[in-house]
Amino acid sequence: MKNTSNRDCFCALCRTPRKLSYTRHLNGLNYLQIVLLTAAFTWATFPLFQFKALSSVFVIWATFEISKKLLYRKDIKCKVCGFDPTWYRKDVRVARRQVENFLKENPDSPMLRAKKTLNNVEISS
Ligand SMILES: [Zn+2]
């Protein structure tokens, strides 16, 4: 059976094979968790808020959406070169600056090592 939550892809910049484990959107299990959490919260605070406690579904839903998006954003950034496709779509200059900063902070990144090896081959030949 194919697991659709693990998506194989390549980094658009350094071509490193990647495996994304998070999606941007909530899945069926997440919605079930939201319903169960809302039911538990409503049950626990019923003497205090009565049926108004049901409105906590919006807060719980928003929390799920935000955390899912944060996990996705953290997951989609390449660990080898620091390339972030989400930023690339919004602003190319920001994405470029992020990659430059990432490579400055990680001088032993496999991407820089590959480039150095390539340069040595070019010099020696
Ligand atoms: Zn990359």
Write out pLDDT tens, residues 55-94.
Answer: 999 999 999 999 999 999 999 999 999 999 999 999 999 9
pLDDT of residue 91: 96
The whole-angstrom separation of Cα 43 and Cα 53 is 8
Query: What is the CA(65)–ligand 1 centre distance, in A?
Result: 26
Higher pLDDT among residues 120 and 55, named by residue: 55
Query: What is the CA(61)–ligand 1 centre distance, in A?
Result: 32
pLDDT of residue 10: 94
In the chain, DSSP finds a helix count (H) and a strand count (E) of: 5, 2
Place of tokens 């658009």: 12
pLDDT band at 1 (very low <50, low <70, confident <90, very high): very low
Query: What is the CA(51)–ligand 1 centre distance, in A?
Result: 50
CB atoms within 10 A of CB 19: 9
Query: What is the CA(121)–ligand 1 centre distance, in A?
Result: 22
Query: What is the CA(18)–ligand 1 centre distance, in A?
Result: 9
Span 81-110, mean pLDDT?
A: 93
Residue 122 has pLDDT above 70, yes or no: no
Work out the widest C-alpha separation in the chain, in whole angstroms. Answer: 81
Domain boundaries, the chain: 17-77, 80-125
Q: In degrees to the nearest 10, what's the CA dihedral of 99, 104, 106, 107?
A: 120
What mean pLDDT value characterizes the chain?
Answer: 88
Place of tokens 């390549």: 10
pLDDT of residue 2: 45
CA-nearest of 79, 98, 80 to 88 is: 98
pLDDT of residue 119: 65
